């Protein structure tokens, strides 16, 4: 029996797909991927996002795809991104993720939100 099945059985609840509440946030791009580059746990933070973005950027630019960085206001900006760190609520960040083509980030809340929306995900797990 899977752990989630054990929890559901002991709590008397049904296993179902989670509902994620979103709130509109204006994004200036029609096509974009999301990036959440840091994690509160330092060992889960990937240090080479600038290098990754430098490799991806020519392809993304050719296809008119922007990179929207989300996260807290303390997070440093990654080059070539549209920066929304510290500008969104959790529901607004969920809206941005929901409308993205892909989510790139660390093992964090935003990655789990992307999974809830069945987004393609590239994540760093340490």
Helix 90-98 vs helix 109-116: crossing angle, to nearest 10: 50
Nearest alpha carbon to residue 119 among 88, 83, 94: 94
**Domains along the sequence of the chain with CATH:** 18-124 (3.40.50.2000)
Tell me the backbone φ, ψ of residue 37, rounded to 5 degrees: -90, -15
Burial of 60 (0-12, 13-18, 19+ CB in 10 A): middle
Note the pTM of the prediction, 2 decimals: 0.85
pLDDT number for residue 83: 95
pLDDT tens for the chain, residues 1 to 126: 778 788 888 998 888 887 899 999 999 999 999 999 876 777 777 788 899 999 999 999 999 999 999 999 988 889 999 999 999 999 999 999 999 999 998 888 999 999 999 999 998 777
pLDDT number for residue 16: 83
pLDDT number for residue 90: 95
The torsion region of residue 61 among left (phi > 0), alpha (psi -120 to 50) and beta comes to alpha
pLDDT number for residue 7: 85
Residue 73's SS3 state is coil
Which residues, in sequence order, are bridge partners of residue 123? 105
């Amino acid at each position: 029996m899977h752990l989630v099945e054990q929890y559901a059985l002991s709590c008397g609840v049904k296993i179902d797909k989670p509902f994620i509440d979103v709130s509109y946030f204006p994004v200036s791009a029609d096509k974009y991927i999301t990036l959440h580059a840091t994690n509160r746990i330092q060992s889960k933070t990937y240090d080479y996002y600038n290098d990754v973005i430098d490799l991806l950027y020519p392809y993304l630019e050719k296809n008119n795809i922007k990179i929207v960085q989300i996260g807290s206001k303390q997070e440093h900006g990654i080059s070539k991104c549209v920066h929304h760190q510290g500008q969104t609520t959790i529901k607004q960040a969920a809206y941005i993720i929901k409308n993205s083509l892909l989510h790139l980030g660390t093992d964090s809340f935003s990655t789990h939100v992307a999974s809830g929306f069945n987004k393609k995900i590239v994540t760093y797990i340490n």
